[in-house]
Structure 1
Amino acid sequence: MEGDSLSTQPTVFAPGEDRLSEEELRALSPQELIWRNRTVAALSEALIMMVDDEMLNIEMTQAFLTEAGYKQFVQTDQPEQAVAMMRREMPGVLLLDLSMPRVSGLDILATMREDPSLRHVPVIVLTSSTDPQVKLKALALGAMDFLSKPVDPSELGLRIRNTLAASAYREYLGQHDALTGLPNKLRYRKVASEVLAHARDSGTSGAFLHIGVDGLGRINDALGRVVGDQMLQRLAKRLASGVQTEAEGELASEHHNPTLFRFDGDEFAVIIPAMDGVHSAAAFMSKVLEDATASFHRSGSPEVLVTCSVGVSVFPGDGMDIDLLTRNAGLALRHAKQAGPHRYEFFSPKFNEQALSRLDLGAELRHALGRDEIELMYEPRVELATSRMVAAQAIVRWRHASGRVIEGDELMDLAGTSEMDVALMEWVFEQLRKSMKTWKAAGLQAVPVGVKASMANLHPRDLSHLVNAALAGGIEPRHLSLELQQVAALENLPAKDTAAIALLRKSGVRVSLDRFGRSASAIHLRRLACDEVKVDESFIRDMDNDALVQGIVLGMGDLARRLKLNCVAPGITTAQQLSVLKKNGWDQGQGPLFGDRLNGLNFAARWLTRTGKPQRVPVAGDA
């Protein structure tokens, strides 16, 4: 029965690796860490401050506490000096008399409560007063405990120990992540401030690393947050082990070792206090990427590999301000994820410029649809063997008020980062439906039209809903080709969640794997059944001047033919590119060489016919 129960539950451990024991999991928890690290001996090092107008009381109390094992004390019988002394010394606990001349203990408590740096100092009141109202007022002002004089030494020792332990535990919880036990963002800022201060004094350099889990949201959606949390715990353990190996090494400074932190959501961070150069950080990054990999599987489902991406900002080169370096590392992480999973990027000033530009553009894009600033253009796709126009490519173009034109892949990426991808897809399908209705009314035969769909933020079920709504609106399945981009996001989804795309193919919609060779690779062909591959435009652009790139392009064409997939070359600009592709049996191509991008009416007038017989595309130099 136990084996059957376990077989139905997801696990987050690679095959051949034992499940983490309960003891190991608890070892990551704050409770275990605090009681493991805050022993009685450690608590005895806490600074105890005593404020009493009778020095004899102070001396007797200190004698009691010294015998109990406490070692560090600071005291004053001048209560008016107590607050200033606390700001200088910052005690672990304050033993405070209430009945004192000039400045009473209640006055000191009231001042502490209004001071952000002192309001959390634990206070034990020692007083001979028997007035219950005085006791209540002291507790209301923040006192944690209350002992009446004369005080029993053993009881005082126990009260101090419990107060210090509770304070240490509270401090720990405030600076550590509850799920993984790692230091949190608050602790990150404290350590970062210390590291940067030391770097300014010593002239050393270091780095901030931000580590993001690739596709954690999709794991949570598909398998539940419990599995996602378990995966984060597993990754935390692996990353912590890797970072710990660098202690006292070449990436450590005189005062700090490399330290791992947990940020909110799917993000971790590492502060490298010192390094000789970027090559040191790069070597460490490769190790981090190796550590930040885990797999999980459950009965009846394929194994899912979880990876991380890393963004890096280097000080002093990228700044010496905590907020600036943190933001720069975050920007670098975002670019790493956009380039594909399981990679790292160093910050570049251009990232900041791009981020500011995209932030402004993303906000404007939300209003661009309503202002009719966006239009749908069409580009002919040509059968290379016959030079006939056999299909079209839908291209979204935004003529920004500044005069800048943003279109194609750039606009699709912007829509994804601005959470406008669904709205833009809906708009594209609506415009395509209108175009096809106009073509049909004019007696012209429509051709298949390729529509780009980024899967970075779009769930297959949502895409299926959008496509089915377009089909219900009058678009025929045979006239629609979905060109899927950022398909790496589909890797972490169970087969049942990607089945929606298979159902679209079954209905007659063609499916294309776009940007092949860049954000899509042969491994995605195993997971995603499709009709064609469309190579990344950069390969075609560089064919003329790079024999290696040309070899890669021809190899991708051979792979497609072996798999009986249509192979499309976008961005063809020269007759030389066309000649090489035709000679090596490529199926289709598109690009400036074959004609301009046109709106729906002009495209129909130039390329569509009443008979449906495809027109030949005249190309200079084409035999």
Structure 2
Amino acid sequence: MISCQDAGLQNIFLQALEQAIDAAVITDETGTIIFFNAAAERLWGYGRDEVLGRPIGCLVPKGDGNPADLVVGASRELRIRRKDGATRWGAVSLSRVAAHGRTILLGFVRDVTEEVARREELYLLSLVANETDRIVIVTGGDRRIVYVNRAFTEMFGYELAEVRGRWPIELLAGRRTDPKVLQHLRRRAGVERGFHEELITYSKSGEEIWVSTTVNTVLNADGTLKNIVAVLADITENKQIEALQRDVLEALAKDMPLPEIAAMICHRVEAIAAGVFCSILLVDQDGRLRPLAAPSLPEQYSEALNGLEIGPITGSCGTAAYLGIPVVVEDIATDPLWEAYKALALPLGLAACWSSPIKLRDGRVAGTFAFYFREKRGPSPWHEHVVNACTHLCALAIERHEAKTHIAQLAYFDTLTGLPNRARLHQLIDSLTHDPDAANAPIACLFLDIDHFKDVNDTLGHSTGDRLLIEVAQRLQNQLRPTDAVSRLGGDEFVFILPDCDADGAVAVAKRIIDALSAPLRVGALTLSVSVSIGISLYPDNGGDKETLLKHADAAMYQAKGAGRGTYRFFSPEMNRFAQERLILSAALREALAQDALELHYQPQLRTVDGKLHGVEALLRWTHPTLGSIAPERFIPLAEESGLIEAIGEWCLRTTCRQIAAWRAAGIDIGTVSVNLSSQHFRKRDLPRLIAALLDAHDVPPEMLTIEITESVMMDDRTATIETVRAVQALGVGLSMDDFGTGYSSLSSLTRLPISELKIDRSFVQELGQDEQAQAATQAVIRIGQSLGMMVIAEGVETEEQWHILKALRCQAAQGFLLSPALPAPALEAWLADHPATARTASHLDVAWSI
């Protein structure tokens, strides 16, 4: 308490109060204002005459307390209500003064409004820094840490005291931190503003953490560095998903088998989503579950699910697959979906299961992806993020697996009978003859040809012939031992391969085959009798490789036909007459080539979209003065065996170029001309030079010539052959893959060889309209070709129905007897003259079909 008894001194005291910088307010014991200095007038905006004699409460907003209740000797901040309605803050200190027997209260009020505002701002900033989940690091001008927020401590485990004065890069970098990223950070920090980097950092405990860093600089007025503010976000989970996606895609690119990819996905997911057991199931064509991968679940559990039919109350996975939606079961013990299956899961400690359908692009549910939990629960947002990514990866892997399976089916199996084709047969023989564990073990090769099969096609039609082939194939399969194999080479030719089989065993099988086919076959409404001629060759006595073995079996088959058909013959060196006939034919062919007695006929290829000419295929024809017309199927293999095929191919190229030049000179637009060459031509490195010389000599644009590659070229993986093919294409000449789909071709070569055109074999075309599988296979071939940017041409179009199906399937072009047979050049020119430019052929076909 201050005592002021002297009047003069009191006057001085009041004058001092009046001059004080801080507001001074005096009240009597009742709280009535008796003094209000100039500073108080400025602070409150009231004149002293407006407040003197009034209660002190008029100076503060209601509800903020009574100033009279302030404690003497203590300082407190009070809100101040100005006359103009504005609010200010004042720091109030109160003293009690005794004068002339009276006691007064003297209050000094200092304006602290700006201090309160700054303090509030700092408080809010501290909330922003410490309550955010983003990590904040602030360095000084020396790039050493001066501040880290709470999120930093929670993420990395360091307190501010542990990191103050340290460089962030050295503190957080570790074994797998990219040095290049660190270098970028050092170079750009303090120079650039607002740049981003992603890098691996390490916590105090050594845990690896991926962060996305945003760095900003704060400069002094003179432009020197004052602070660096770095904001970090934890992106570890996203990086884990990205790494999984990258690894799965890499595995797909390396053709890793589907079960291995599925197991890898499960292992990786279980590592990043702790506490879950992962399972991937497939759904087969019959709607049954087939385990694919569940590495952390007991094998007997997966076996119990194998073959389980999907349905509306079939656990989590069976129900998810049936409904096509995710199914969450948080308590296996009580959920009705698991009533029939909980005895499988509960003994294993599995309490909950969440299953999501794996949907392919066509909407089909191909499988399920499931999480099992040991506690009763549902998925977390992180689980949902992981599963969303994994179901897409699984769908991609399954689609690729199905595509490979389908392509393998096209490449190695006959689409009509389902039997292995020639390519698969070659693989099988190679595997047997090169097996070190079965060296020189006898192998019997039986070459079968249906007797008079051509008569069936000619009299009853190709569709009946095809159904007959299917029935024959089924009966042949019934004669197989577990180790045997039967394949269809094409047409009516079949081959049996009998491992560990000597001559006696081969005779027994041949007799069984003849007996099995002797019973009449039912083909639709017809009952047909069939017989076969069988040629037998033995490994290693009759051949040490697949070509020789098959060739000798083929020769023996012709001997069986010559012996009256319906029987079998072994290959023997004494087959002189047959060999002599072949020698005579070979000599005649050599003479025909020397005398230019061969000729080319040209078969038009029409575009399906408008019926206009796309080009022509040059087909070799030979008519002997005494032997008559000799089919290419007979003399071309002979030319290959006798070494004439290369000269014949060169003759075809030369004749074609000369004919193209003649057509160009006559103003006849022929499009492109396709020429067939054998695989032997592409083993010669001078083939590109030969073609280039012929094109130059006849002034033929290279784009007017297309070379048709045989399946053996596609299967030839020799470097010289591949280089020759690419060199031919580099000339600007087109490359066409002939007879695609017959099973010879290696589909993987489509992507490594520069093929521009794909020809669908006539065996597919003949089945269109009668066989849904043939149509599906044809559609697959068209899509494969067009997806690779190739022109797709169908061969052997004989009916209007086939033409319109091909048109509907968007096959770009077709050729066949329906459109035109192969014609000599003069006849083709006449045909072209009669073939209207307005595509009347296509219009006619459209009208006929609509009728």
| TM-score normalised by the chain length of structure 2 | 0.35
Max Rg structure: 2
TM-score by length of 1: 0.46
The structure with higher relative contact order (CA 8 Å, sep 6+) is 1
Q: Which has the higher strand share?
A: 2
